Amino acid sequence: DNAIATQVAEWLAEAEHAVVFTGAGMSTESGIPDFRSPGGIWTRFRTVYYDEFMASPDARREYWHQKAMGHREFADSQPNAGHLVIAKWESAGNIRGVITQNIDGLHQIAGNQQVLELHGTARQIECQDCGARFDAEPLVAQYLETDEAPKCTECPKGRLKHATVSFGQSLPTAVLSKAASWSQEADLMLAIGSSLVVNPAAELPVIAKRSGSRLVIINRDPTPLDTMADLVIPGSIGEVLTAIDQAG
Ligand code: NAD
Ligand code: ZN
């Protein structure tokens, strides 16, 4: 709807510290299923908790099997129309940056430079013993060839895992506190493609709102924060963002 797009475009033009906050719905138009979609990697496998991963070679093998199966969904995906609009907004100075729960790296590939990844990134592998980082692609290929969980080359037998936050692992505190500051300082927050049910996703828009920010929610399904939002737009993210951009 045009009037709605124009309203958001006006708020975006007025704002000095606008922040975009994204969830898995941001990337469904890139072919990556969201959390709840049937058939997605998130519904196909048993969860391997962080403590299990650290404790048992079997759990590490199971983890690597799952990640290798889901890898192509990420590796072959491209930013969609919505990602490109958000990247344009950052380079034009309309937004401060993006806070994301996504691990797919598509905001950066689209061109965003200020991206806070609350749940880390699946594009990199991190040694849980020495902290060394590696590109994910060659290590996943190595796993597929050898059928063995890869080991760190920088330290003896280091346990390698994607640089993502696993279940049972806490969020990176530095990233989280920066995200909280951005939310507190925001005068406009666009919450896009998140069901807004888990913390801190559910918390950052509340922090923004309490500090006087406007809150716009763009999400197909209702969220628990809809009642506190200034505007809720239940459309396709790519179409809605394109319409806002064209109205600006
Ligand atoms: P979620 O799956 O709980 O919610 C996604 C929301 O997006 C849904 O409410 C759905 O209605 C909406 N949506 C989906 N496609 C849409 C579209 N094209 N247009 C408009 N709305 C659309 O996602 P969440 O809140 O981000 O929580 C899931 C967790 O799982 C995240 O914390 C994330 O780390 C992880 N995850 C990441 C990815 C990724 O990196 N792409 C994918 C799946 C899950
Ligand atoms: Zn190591």
The answer to whether residues 61 and 183 belong to one domain is no
pLDDT in tens, the chain (248 residues): 799 999 999 999 999 999 999 999 999 999 998 877 666 656 678 899 999 999 999 999 999 999 998 887 888 899 999 999 999 999 999 999 999 999 999 999 999 999 999 999 999 999 999 999 999 999 999 999 999 999 999 999 899 999 999 999 999 999 999 999 999 999 999 999 999 999 888 999 999 999 999 999 999 999 999 999 999 999 999 999 999 999 99
Residue whose structure tokens are 């048992």: 56
Among 35, 85, 124, which residue has the most ligand 1 atoms within 8 Å of its CB, making it the best to mutate?
A: 35
Host domain of residue 234: 1-32+79-119+171-248
Residue whose structure tokens are 């179409």: 239
Tell me how far the alpha carbon of residue 26 lies from the centroid of ligand 1, in angstroms.
7
Q: Is the CB of 22 under 6 A from ligand 1?
A: no
Predicted confidence at residue 41, as pLDDT, reads: 59
DSSP-based three-state secondary structure for 45: coil
Predicted confidence at residue 70, as pLDDT, reads: 83
The answer to whether residues 128 and 219 belong to one domain is no
**Which are the catalytic amino acids?**
119
The answer to whether residues 68 and 92 belong to one domain is no
Q: How many CA atoms lie within 13 A of 138 on its CB side?
A: 5
Cis peptide before 200 (omega within 30 of 0): yes
DSSP-based three-state secondary structure for 239: helix
Tell me how far the alpha carbon of residue 55 lies from the centroid of ligand 1, in angstroms.
30
Which bound ligand lies closest to the C-alpha atom of 126?
2
The answer to whether residues 103 and 42 belong to one domain is no
The answer to whether residues 178 and 215 belong to one domain is yes
Q: Which of 52, 39, 51, 47 is nearest to 66 (CA)?
A: 47
Q: What is the pTM of this model?
A: 0.95
Measured CA to CA, the distance from residue 213 to residue 18 in angstroms comes to 9
The answer to whether residues 202 and 240 belong to one domain is yes
Domains in the chain: how many in total? 2
Q: What is the CATH number of the domain that holds 100?
A: 3.40.50.1220
ipTM of the complex: 0.92
The answer to whether residues 113 and 128 belong to one domain is no
The answer to whether residues 142 and 246 belong to one domain is no
Binding residues for Zn(2+): 127, 130, 152, 155
Q: Which of 121, 128, 169 is nearest to 152 (CA)?
A: 128
Q: What is the CATH number of the domain that holds 132?
A: 3.30.1600.10
- Hey, whose CA ends up nearest to atom 13 of ligand 1? 25
- Hey, whose CA ends up nearest to atom 16 of ligand 1? 25
The answer to whether residues 153 and 234 belong to one domain is no
Measured in whole angstroms, the distance separating CA 218 from the mean position of its chain's CA atoms is: 15
The answer to whether residues 143 and 23 belong to one domain is no
Write out the two tokens for 121.
Answer: 């990134």
The answer to whether residues 89 and 206 belong to one domain is yes
Q: Which of 145, 164, 183 is the last residue of a domain?
A: 164
Q: Is the CB of 226 under 6 A from ligand 1?
A: no
The answer to whether residues 181 and 103 belong to one domain is yes
Residue whose structure tokens are 């080991």: 151
Measured CA to CA, the distance from residue 142 to residue 149 in angstroms comes to 9
Ligand 1, closest atom to CA 165? 34
Q: Is the CB of 31 under 6 A from ligand 1?
A: no
Q: Is the CB of 232 under 6 A from ligand 1?
A: no
Beta strands in the chain (DSSP E): 18-22, 97-100, 115-117, 120-127, 133-135, 160-164, 188-192, 214-218, 231-233
- Hey, whose CA ends up nearest to atom 8 of ligand 1? 195
Measured CA to CA, the distance from residue 28 to residue 17 in angstroms comes to 27
Exposed e or buried b for every residue in 179-198, given b needs 16+ CB within 10 A? bbebbeebbbbbbbbbbbee
Measured CA to CA, the distance from residue 162 to residue 165 in angstroms comes to 8
